[in-house]
Structure 1
Amino acid sequence: MLHPRHVIATLALAASSVLIAGCASGATPHSTPDPLASSDTAGSVEAEVEAAWLDDGSAIGILTYGSSTCLPTVGDSGYADGVLTVELVDSDDVACTRDFVPRGVYVPLPEEVDPTADLDVVVTGSSSGQAEVAGDADLGGKGGGLVEGAPSAGWAGDDVVLLLTWGSSTCPPLIGGAVATSPTEVTVTIEPLPAEQPCTADFGPRVSVVAVEGLGDDDGGERIEAVLDGDPFDALRIPIAGSR
């Protein structure tokens, strides 16, 4: 079974940025991958998945692996007795690249989900697996959420953060790296987008997978903040929800 930290370290994808809508991603492989018909990759793939609180507990991000150009979308979902079931659906009639990267999927939560309590997540569909998200007493939650457009972040593993930003689906933030600059601070570098990159006029959630370097094994239970360094955030500080 692959752990997110091991796969990310192996593939050197600390700079990967993953969309929730559209077929584009900041996670660009070193060589041009071969196209693969989506029908060739159809069917559920059982793998370890991770999840993280986002948007003040009004949403979660789900971490899966697969083609960077065939991102899953959320199908049917349901919640009962502390268990959230989420179906992931692959895109139809899309040429998929053969790369294998971590991808983040944005999942809004029903109002009855309490982010201060533990949440079990069961993923079905094109990817399948289970994850548990520990409750976070600092989250406002119960469907409240942050002001639309505000970035947020949550832990999806010991050294993996899911970063939620809002904007064009074809122009997510280009993550240049993330390094612990103190025991309670992680600086996430945002690189300028290529001048020739076209951006669509849509506005929605984009979930980036960020691998963090330099954190110790024990954070002492203290809240760790992410400092988003680069346009348009200008050293913006945001708390990283959940626990490592």
Structure 2
Amino acid sequence: MSTGKTLVLWDIDHTLITTGGLSRNIYADAFQATTGRTLRQVANMAGRTERAIATDTLRLHHIEVSDQLLTTFGLALAEAFLTYETALKEHGRALDGAREALAALADRTDVIQSVLTGNMESIAIGKLKAFGLDHFVDFEVGAYGMDHEERPELVRPAQERAARKYGQAFTAGNTVLIGDTPNDVLAGHLGGARVIAVATGTYDAAALREAGAEAVLTDLGDTPAVVSAILATAHP
């Protein structure tokens, strides 16, 4: 059994990258393909899972939701994402310091890093691949937006997948979630992880501190500070 590794789980949108506002377009195309109707409104996306966003978006249009419909919607989202890959590269970007932070952690033998994201798996991979960030993380041990509707329920599957692959138990004592919303903080604490919040989205540092994050960073620009915060949060 290996010992001493920290599992680092990254949120993607507004933590590592920005999509340049293309998420609504992707949902509009998927909604049209799934229902034959024009999208009027997308449910709140901040810190939520794809399954929850899709469910609430369909209900906002008075459409009865079933597992089969959600599966169809998920497939349509994946297809729609493919049509926006070029636009994503043009309008989106990796956030400052994201590449350097991922690279620094990838070089460490005491860290396993993956993602805990509201995105479904194929979209999560596609988003990081668009900006050359995909090879830094182990997607096999991540947790994704179609795994469960509630974001806190994603922590345990990621820990279990990492445990099976790396032969070590992962708990709140050696799992760090990094995100940009109060929902990310809540997900970590309810799910069984410590949380570092970065004020790179719509929430400022004060709001993230109030949410209870163990550490709050303005951004990922200072690589040594990011790495130190992760290690200190995992082993206070």
Provide TM-score, normalisation by structure 2.
0.29
- Structure that is richer in helix per residue: 2
- Structure that is richer in strand per residue: 1
Provide TM-score, normalisation by structure 1.
0.28
